[in-house]
Amino acid sequence: MIEPTLALSAFLFLIGTFGVLVRRNAIIMFLCIELQLNAVNVAFVAFSSLWGIDGQVFVFFVMTVAAAEAAVGLAIIISIFRHYQTVDVDHFNLLKW
């Protein structure tokens, strides 16, 4: 059952990558990043059925980091929205050279 699980992980990661590259709404880009994190979690759990429980412990850490990242990232999005009145990333070109 490990190969189809890894295939699912790869597909989810690719869809997440595609979403980050194509969508312009900052919140949906952020959702796609969460999708990529979940794809990695699926791969971790699949490999933990081969090599022991350590993979599941790492999934626990990844979830914690994802929660922290969601809190900070959404705060950044709120702060950007206050400044520009939009979450379209095409408008945020302050750091562009």
Partner 1 sequence: MEAFLFYFFFAMAMGGAIGVVVSKSPVGSLLFMVTALFAISGEFVLLEAHFLAAVQIIVYAGAIMVLFLFVIMLLNLGHEYQQDLKVGVFSVAWIAVVSVMAGLVGLSLRGQAGFPGQPSGAQEIQTALELYGAVGAIARPLYTTYVVPFEITGILLLVAIVGALVLAKRNVG
Give 81's Cβ-side CA count (13 Å radius): 10
Neighbours of 2 (CB within 10 A): 11
Which residue's CB is nearer to partner 1, number 15 or number 95? Answer: 15
**Shortest distance, position 23 Cβ to partner 1, whole Å:** 6
Looking only at residues 33 through 52 of this chain, which bind partner 1 when binding is defined by CB under 8 A?
34-35, 38, 41-42, 45-46, 48-52
Using CB under 8 A, list all residues that contact partner 1. 1-8, 10-12, 14-19, 21-25, 27-28, 30-32, 34-35, 38, 41-42, 45-46, 48-54, 56-57, 59-61, 63-72, 74-79, 81-82, 87-88, 90
